[in-house]
Structure 1
Amino acid sequence: MTTIDQFLQDFNNFVWGPPLLLLLLGGGLFFALYSRFTPYRHFGHALAIVRGKFDDPNAAGELTHAQALSAALAGTIGLGNIAGVALAITAGGPGAVFWMWMTALLGVATKFFTCTLGVMYRGRDSLGRLQGGPMYIVREGLGKRFYPLAVLFAVAGLFGVLPVFQANQLVEALRQEFFDDAASLAAWQFNLVAGIALAAVVAGVIFGGLPRLAKVAVRVVPGIAVLYLLMTVWVLARHAGEVPAMLGNIVTEAFSGSAVGGGLLGVMVIGISRGAFSNEAGIGTEVMAHGAAKTDEPVREGLVAMLGPVVDTLLICTCTALVILITGVWQEAAGLQGVTLTINAYRQEMGLPGVFLLGLLILSLGLTTMFTYWYYGAKCLGFLIGAEYQHYYKYFHVLMVVVGSGASVGAASNLLSGMYALMAIPTMTASLLLAPRVMAASRDYFARCGAWRAESTDT
């Protein structure tokens, strides 16, 4: 292991300590109890909002509710769902999946609060444009005394949304599974060529701005999710009798303190950090996407946002985990990790068609995540040095696609995971302090919803 790899691993292990686990899980539990499970009781209303029933073209913002959710999911439904889950299982065993589930279940309440605040406390950037995100929540909602938290989020966000992990795993999948290692190109040469090609595709989308990103996300993300679910159902149907026992094993291993994950605390750290990396609940990146929604009702966007962890972690990540665990590749393929492990599982069950379909999904997932990460990074840079300069982040983002293509998976994963931990500190702190204002807005919103239903019934 190189010095850089070791440093990033030590940094990641340090920031993902017990205090952060308490902040994320304890904060999520607080939001759920404090709201009296309000978000969990309004999934039907949330789906109606996504379908466009309450869209207002004259409201402030850039994206419809569906576009905002798709843009956010484009960032969360990515290689973390395929490669990240595999990394969690190889490092922490089946029990790590349980703690990923916990981040998702509590993440429903967390996203409701954080993304409601993302619209409630939108602020103007240096060009006078309306923006959302944890840095604006801190600045507009908490004032100058807490401003260092806004800066911390923006600085960590610049590095936390680098496309290095996605580029790394995309190129690794292409090189290992679709090209012969004995070909004329050496590994580093292939990585460079593939990285440049990926960078060109990413540049073609992000230089079109947020509207183009949203249009791509709306068209691609739903299809990706459905195709991946169908592939998983096909695999699990062949092992239907093993699924209940495997689900039970996940729960049992979560509390067994197995040495495979470094004991109970080690398994928790792995599962929660991977869950946060996957669904981003409490991290704050998704707040920037939902903060761009065209709405004057903050609670409405909070309800839309809470659907994210359900789709991302409880559905997509669980699909990946069950396939990896039931096929047994995580124990049999010594030394393999990340996307290669997941590919092996589908190759074992579906042969070359499975590898081909998964390859298309990996390419689509990796690209859509890299598209979205540009937007987050640019907003962080604009907050720090002025929105008139944030367009320069596009060039840096494209360059890091090439750099990430040749990086080690450990370094790329630890860098992003560590920065996610730093982003969670200001996001969760501000949301906990401003939680009473979210509940006041929620009571007002649902009271008016009741009035709307009454009027509709009367007519």
Structure 2
Amino acid sequence: MGDLIIEFSNWIWGTPLLLLLLGGGLYMFVYSGFIPFVGFKHALKVVGGKYDDPNATGDITSLQALSSAVAATVGLGNISGVALAIGMGGPGAIFWMWMSAFVGMATKFFTCTLAIMYRGTDSSGHVQGGPMYVIEEGMGKKWKFLSVIFCVAGILGLLVIFQANQLTAVLRAVMLEPFGLDQGMPTRWAIGLILMGLVATVILGGIQRIAKVASRLVPFMVTVYFISVLVILGKNVGQVPEMLWLILQDAFTGDAVLGGAVGQVIIIGARRAAFSNEAGIGTAPMVHGASKNSEPVREGLIAMLGPFIDTIVVCTLTALAIMVTGVWQTGEKDGVLLTLSAFEQGLPGIGKYLLMVSVLVFALSTMFTYSYYGHKCFNYLFGADKADYYNYFYLATLVGGAVTSLSVVMSFVDAMYAVMAFPTMISALYLSPKVREASRDYFQRMKNMDT
């Protein structure tokens, strides 16, 4: 069964999906008038709360929406995902993660603008947002089958089995194995059950509690991780320019370009970028669609910052820490353990504990937010009165993630992400003229306000 999951994941992440994600994102990047660059300064003003309207429809503020989305993306994708990318594709894979992130900023602008523009209501009459509602409200009922495909894949792909797996690996490596306390599979089960209890205390409180906890955890986890990585880089600052050049050089070696658009390094970089920042997958529009914002374009601008924070900043720092310490050449491909080696090498004595704290907070914050995504998919398919049943299914699978092999877990999540991407990108491209029209109107109004 595990081999079939891995084969399916490798098959679906072929040329068509790469063209859809990277080609579609590049189209939106140009079609929007290079919005990641021209709208960046205004996006920073917006996220500061200058334009918040507490009376607007929605459940959470735009800042909370961004914090929740970043809590889901700035996580183990930045610690384990980057390490996996380097371990499997070499330093050049990071370059293709960067390229995916820049076009991903445009993709998120479009998909999250649409999430506010085409909000729908669930069976209880509550306002909801996300690709499934964008498809049904924006494209029409005849396209509803795409909404169903998205939600089925979302229910399965948004289980945090990868986070549970990698957090378990770190806790065992740092807290148990050095003291001879690791008992193998029984230890995995025990950690999985503990995680299930911790996550239950937050997610059973709904999106308000999730957003509140995420908005407090995100600044803390980013600060701890940033300081740790910057100290490692500071100790090896002379190697940083060399490593940046190596990333650029390796991206265009034979392995990367012989296969053209499906070169192995490009594929690895794109897959890890998709898992890292989720642009085009459709998760962020679900939480941004719950924002108290009556300006669709404004929400899209806020969402656009996610891939920049996540991939351009955090993933780059992680990659450089792995490279300047030299651990990437050891052949280790078990994501988080490679990053753990970098922290041990760069910060002897305390590095592994700092990473453990970061991984713990990263993983838990992602676990909180993903439950909301899956809950919304379940709500759409089965109704609001049955949606809470998903939380119990979600909690039970945490244990499964803790005891399953990394390759199977990663391939399963990758495959479901790929399935989710097709409806999300198709709807964004189909409705892209609506976004461009709204964008022109919005910036004209902002210009008039400033004069």
TM-score normalised by the shorter chain: which range applies? over 0.9
Rounded to whole Å, the distance in 2 between the matches of 1:8 and 1:274 is 17
Rounded to whole Å, the distance in 2 between the matches of 1:403 and 1:412 is 10
Aligned to 1:309: 307
Rounded to whole Å, the distance in 2 between the matches of 1:259 and 1:304 is 33
Aligned to 1:40: 37
Rounded to whole Å, the distance in 2 between the matches of 1:75 and 1:112 is 17
8 Å contact kept, 2:255–2:264: no
2:371 pairs with 365, 370, 374, which one?
374
Query: Are 1:9 and 2:6 counterparts?
Result: yes
Query: Are 1:117 and 2:114 counterparts?
Result: yes
Among all aligned residue pairs of Structure 1 and Structure 2, give the percentage whose two residues are the same amino acid: 51
Q: TM-score, normalised by structure 1?
A: 0.95
224-233 or 151-160: bigger deviation: 224-233
Query: Are 1:350 and 2:347 counterparts?
Result: yes
For residue 55 of structure 1, give the secondary structure of its aligned residue in structure 2. Answer: coil
19-28 or 254-263: bigger deviation: 254-263
8 Å contact kept, 1:278–1:313: yes
Tell me: CA distance 1:336–1:27, structure 2 relative to 1, closer, same or farther (3 Å): closer
Aligned to 2:177: 180
Rounded to whole Å, the distance in 1 between the matches of 2:234 and 2:254 is 31
1:271 pairs with 269, 272, 279, which one?
269
Aligned to 1:211: 208
Aligned to 1:151: 148
Aligned to 2:248: 251
Aligned to 2:428: 431
Rounded to whole Å, the distance in 1 between the matches of 2:257 and 2:355 is 28
Rounded to whole Å, the distance in 2 between the matches of 1:135 and 1:398 is 24
Aligned to 1:457: none
Tell me: CA distance 1:184–1:252, structure 2 relative to 1, closer, same or farther (3 Å): closer
8 Å contact kept, 1:92–1:261: no
Rounded to whole Å, the distance in 1 between the matches of 2:233 and 2:76 is 21
CA-to-partner distance for each residue in 1:122-180, whole Å, 9 max, x for gaps? 00111111000001000000012211111111011011111100000001111122112
For residue 71 of structure 2, give the secondary structure of its aligned residue in structure 1. Answer: helix
425-434 or 263-272: bigger deviation: 263-272
Mapping for residues 378-457 of structure 1, pairs under 5 Å: 378-454=375-451
1:137 pairs with 111, 134, 137, which one?
134
Query: Are 1:66 and 2:63 counterparts?
Result: yes
312-321 or 224-233: bigger deviation: 224-233
For residue 349 of structure 2, give the secondary structure of its aligned residue in structure 1. Answer: helix
Rounded to whole Å, the distance in 2 between the matches of 1:442 and 1:388 is 37
Q: CA deviation at 1:352?
A: 2.1
Question: Where does the alignment leave 5 or more consecutive residues of structure 2 unmatched?
Answer: none
Rounded to whole Å, the distance in 2 between the matches of 1:228 and 1:198 is 21
1:282 pairs with 268, 280, 283, which one?
280
Q: CA deviation at 1:257?
A: 2.7
Rounded to whole Å, the distance in 1 between the matches of 2:344 and 2:219 is 24
Rounded to whole Å, the distance in 1 between the matches of 2:197 and 2:353 is 23
For residue 2 of structure 2, give the secondary structure of its aligned residue in structure 1. Answer: helix
229-238 or 420-429: bigger deviation: 229-238
Q: TM-score, normalised by structure 2?
A: 0.97
Mapping for residues 329-340 of structure 1, pairs under 5 Å: 329-332=327-330, 334-340=331-337
1:239 pairs with 212, 236, 240, which one?
236
8 Å contact kept, 1:91–1:260: no
Rounded to whole Å, the distance in 1 between the matches of 2:48 and 2:136 is 32
For residue 263 of structure 2, give the secondary structure of its aligned residue in structure 1. Answer: helix
419-428 or 43-52: bigger deviation: 43-52
Query: Are 1:89 and 2:86 counterparts?
Result: yes
Rounded to whole Å, the distance in 2 between the matches of 1:42 and 1:373 is 28
Rounded to whole Å, the distance in 1 between the matches of 2:82 and 2:336 is 9
Rounded to whole Å, the distance in 2 between the matches of 1:66 and 1:91 is 35
Rounded to whole Å, the distance in 2 between the matches of 1:387 and 1:257 is 52
CA-to-partner distance for each residue in 1:254-307, whole Å, 9 max, x for gaps? 121338999971111111010000000011001101101001100000000000
Query: Are 1:99 and 2:90 counterparts?
Result: no
8 Å contact kept, 1:40–1:108: no
8 Å contact kept, 1:257–1:267: no
Aligned residue-pair number? 450
Aligned to 1:126: 123
Q: CA deviation at 1:336?
A: 4.8
Q: What is the Cα-based RMSD across aligned positions, in Å?
A: 1.6
Q: CA deviation at 1:56?
A: 0.5
Aligned partner letter, 2:221: I
Rounded to whole Å, the distance in 2 between the matches of 1:146 and 1:233 is 48
For residue 42 of structure 2, give the secondary structure of its aligned residue in structure 1. Answer: helix
Aligned partner letter, 1:266: Q
Aligned to 2:105: 108
For residue 180 of structure 1, give the secondary structure of its aligned residue in structure 2. Answer: helix
Q: CA deviation at 1:182?
A: 7.1
8 Å contact kept, 2:36–2:102: no
Aligned partner letter, 1:301: E
Q: CA deviation at 1:39?
A: 3.9
Aligned partner letter, 1:212: R
Question: Where does the alignment leave 5 or more consecutive residues of structure 1 unmatched?
Answer: 455-459
Aligned partner letter, 1:121: Y
8 Å contact kept, 1:24–1:282: yes
Aligned to 1:190: 187
